[in-house]
Amino acid sequence: MQVADRGQSAGHEGYSLRPLLSAMEAQKVEPNEVTLTSILSACERTHRWAEALAALSGSAGLRAAKPQPFLAAVHWNAALGACAAGSAWKQGLSIFAEMLSSGIADAASMANILKAFNKASHWQEAFWCLFEVPTAFKLDTSWHHYVTVAESGGLQSEWQQALDLLFHSPGASQIPESYRISAAISVCKDAIAFRGGAGAPHWQYAVALFASSGAEAHVANALISVYQKVALWEAALGIFAQTQQSQVDWMTTLLALCAGTRSLAKRFYLESPVRVHMRRDPQMRNLYTIDLHELPVEVALLAVEVTLDELEQLQEEDDTILHIITGHGEHRSGLSVVRTAVLSLLRAVPFVMVEMDESNPGLLRCIVPKESRGFRV
């Protein structure tokens, strides 16, 4: 398989495996099963689909004089997973076709190509793949495949067909009931986003689905996300109160509230286990740090707002310094979405000065002058 490097997912330009690949080539390190597995796994985790294809084919970086004889399904699946994560569905389809013709495609391969179609909103291709490919190539399917395809249907206004797939298709009986209901509610949520507004009937259908379930946590989370779409914040809190509350439940409910009433979201955040507490530096008494790693953008902004409120109450004799660790998070065009959002928030706050270190883009340094007590009033 020869696949040209046609560009990279815009999501992870900040990371590159090319220096490693070039160093291996310069030192004449021949690819083997261990090195290739490690490289492809790294590509899959960071959505580096172009480099995964290059490593797999030997077209760049790892220039094998002949096809690597040790290639196994796990290597192909890792490259296919990188394509799915990086929204490179056409390249993923090329890999999948190669695997089918070689007889090494399996259930994991099917799951990855369906995810690629799902992310690219290609409902018809996913539907065709689910029903035609297993028969033609004698591949096993599982209920996870049906759920993946159904979820892509909600994103393309095919929500009724997606629900039919979950409840009436030949493979529907494989799906555990709670996961079927959760997936169906997610389809309704996506249909709301596609068609818009609380006036659409989808959210009422989602509520009816929830009422027919055993109210497991993942089903409750799905309904809370629906309430977020239609701005029913009190209803979201009501569902939250009915569930056995885990950190995931708190986060899902908090995201719903962030999309609506800010004061209510802030009160909920202050009581939640996902709250980020600022740490005081033991060496420098006026230096504080908060870490926003792994937080969704909305919750990260809420954490910064709460921290600024707390700093306002301090009685420091000198200016207060706040280090905000944004990390790299989910990237767009090589920039951290969390970092960009936090910067916009801070620049709108009077008297707060923000310093950036380009050598460490995941850290923002804020200076709150002592004269600015009450700056947020």
* DSSP string over 166-235: HHHSTTGGGS-HHHHHHHHHHHHHHHHHHH-STTSTHHHHHHHHHHTS---HHHHHHHHHHHHHTT-HHH
**Burial of residue 347, with CB atoms counted within 10 A of its CB: 0-12 exposed, 13-18 middle, 19 or more buried:** exposed
Q: Do 305 and 252 belong to one domain?
A: no
Domain boundary among 91, 124, 141: 141
Here the CATH number for the domain that contains residue 353 is 3.30.1370.110
- Asked if residue 47 belongs to a domain, the reply is yes
pLDDT, position 325? 92
Instruction: Give 215's Cβ-side CA count (13 Å radius).
Output: 9
Per-residue buried b or exposed e for 23-39, using 16+ beta carbons within 10 Å of the residue's own CB: ebeeeeeebeeeebeeb
Determine the structural domain holding residue 103 and report its residue range.
Answer: 1-141
Q: Do 48 and 76 belong to one domain?
A: yes
Q: Do 115 and 189 belong to one domain?
A: no
Q: Do 238 and 307 belong to one domain?
A: no
- Asked if residue 162 belongs to a domain, the reply is no
Total domains present in the chain: 3
Q: Do 296 and 214 belong to one domain?
A: no
Other CB atoms within 10 Å distance of the CB of residue 15: 17
Q: Do 112 and 82 belong to one domain?
A: yes
- Asked if residue 301 belongs to a domain, the reply is yes
Q: Do 208 and 110 belong to one domain?
A: no
pLDDT, position 358? 76
Instruction: Select from 63, 67, 137 the least CA-distant residue to 96.
Output: 137
- Asked if residue 159 belongs to a domain, the reply is no
- Asked if residue 27 belongs to a domain, the reply is yes
- Asked if residue 151 belongs to a domain, the reply is no
Q: Do 135 and 3 belong to one domain?
A: yes
Q: Do 216 and 257 belong to one domain?
A: yes
Give 155-161's long-range contacts (Cβ < 8 A, gap of 24+): 155/118, 155/121, 155/123, 155/190, 155/193, 155/194, 156/121, 156/123, 156/194, 157/191, 157/194, 157/195, 158/123, 159/187, 159/188, 159/190, 159/191, 159/194, 159/202, 161/127
Q: Do 12 and 111 belong to one domain?
A: yes
- Asked if residue 51 belongs to a domain, the reply is yes
Question: Which run of H or of E encompasses 78?
Answer: helix 73-85
pTM: 0.66
Domain boundary among 231, 259, 275: 275
Which residues are registered as beta bridge partners of 366? 322, 354
Q: Do 254 and 343 belong to one domain?
A: no
Gap between the Cα atoms of 286 and 322, Å rounded: 8
pLDDT, position 291? 94
pLDDT in tens, the chain (377 residues): 333 333 443 334 445 566 666 776 777 766 677 777 788 888 877 777 888 887 777 643 444 434 455 578 888 888 898 898 888 899 999 999 989 988 889 999 999 999 999 888 888 889 899 999 998 998 888 999 999 898 887 665 688 888 999 999 988 889 999 999 999 999 888 888 766 655 567 888 899 999 888 778 888 889 998 988 888 888 888 888 887 777 677 888 888 888 777 888 998 999 888 899 999 998 888 899 999 988 899 999 999 999 998 888 877 678 889 999 987 544 444 457 888 899 999 988 888 889 887 778 888 999 888 776 554 44
Q: Do 67 and 54 belong to one domain?
A: yes
Radius of gyration of the CA atoms of the chain, in A: 24
- Asked if residue 82 belongs to a domain, the reply is yes
